[in-house]
Amino acid sequence: MEITTQTEYQGSQIARIPHQQGLYAWYYKPGVIDEQAISKTLSSFLGTTIEISTSIQMRYGVRLISTSPLNLVCGEQQETASKVLDEAIANADKFFLDFFKSNAVQIFTRPIYIGIAENLHKRVYRQHYLSLTEMWDDNHPVSRHLTAYPQATVESVMKLLSLSHTFALEARVRQIAPRDLVVHIFPTTTLPKDIGPDSDEPKQDTAARRALERLLQLVADPICGRR
């Protein structure tokens, strides 16, 4: 099988992703530079909820249990991530315009989501891109829910609508339009034979897929990795 030489796809190009095995990584690359929109999206990446759970063993089988949210702060002044971001945008001049129109996005930013595909076209275009496009329809349950509850999180949407965790859901809740996403692929013919089918249910993963997925998550540290 001839391996495609094109590795970057955005917008309507994504429909042309080949039916080949390989790796993929989604990045945020807005087509229109809107500082307010960029700030909102980047804030959603930096504002990912992190919790710490503590369990203290007492006598007679009694335990003290606590779960608390953790807040990300920067520098000696312990500034919030959103404040750091606002200050950077205010002083960036034309940098964001230059940066997001360049091919350097995938070099200097973390991927939003990364994974392995038995069929890149099916996984990236059909399961991810088309699903996200559908979620932006005003009549889609996710869109209706976000209209009623604009501060909803991925976790709350999953719980209330009984949905599985997907890349499309992560992007939709963060208000990322399909046109503002770029995907990079690494087509290959050397994935393990038992890589298994592409699914959003981790329980269906084969041992080979699970091992490689976990390695990718550790090495690439995507913003919205598998739960």
Q: Are strands 8-10 and 79-80 parallel, antiparallel or unpaired?
A: unpaired
Is the residue at 185 inside a domain? Answer: yes
Residue 187 — φ and ψ, nearest 5°? -70, 145
Is the residue at 173 inside a domain? Answer: yes
In terms of Cα–Cα distance, which of 103, 105, 106, 128 is closest to 115? 128
Is the residue at 176 inside a domain? Answer: yes
Which tens digit of pLDDT belongs to each residue from 168-217? 999 999 999 999 999 999 999 999 999 999 988 878 889 999 999 999 99
What confidence score (pLDDT) does residue 181 get?
Answer: 96
Say yes or no: 174 and 77 in one domain.
no
Domain end marker among 65, 100, 135: 100
Buried b (16+ CB within 10 A) or exposed e, 81-108: beebbeeeeeeeeeebeeebeeeebbee
CA distance readout (Å), 26 to 45, 114, 168: 13, 6, 11
Domain end marker among 45, 65, 100: 100
Domain end marker among 100, 126, 143: 100
- Partnered with residue 55 across adjacent β-strands are 65
What's the domain count of the chain?
Answer: 2
Name residues whose C-beta falls within 8 Å of residue 68's C-beta, 6 or more positions apart in sequence.
51, 52, 54
Say yes or no: 78 and 14 in one domain.
no
Q: What is the mean pLDDT of residues 140-146?
A: 96
Say yes or no: 192 and 121 in one domain.
yes
Domain extent at residue 54:
34-100
Residue 62: CB atoms within 10 A of its CB come to 8
Say yes or no: 23 and 130 in one domain.
yes
Total-model pTM: 0.85
Q: What is the mean pLDDT of residues 8-34?
A: 93
Q: Work out the percent of the chain whose per-residue pLDDT is above 70.
A: 96
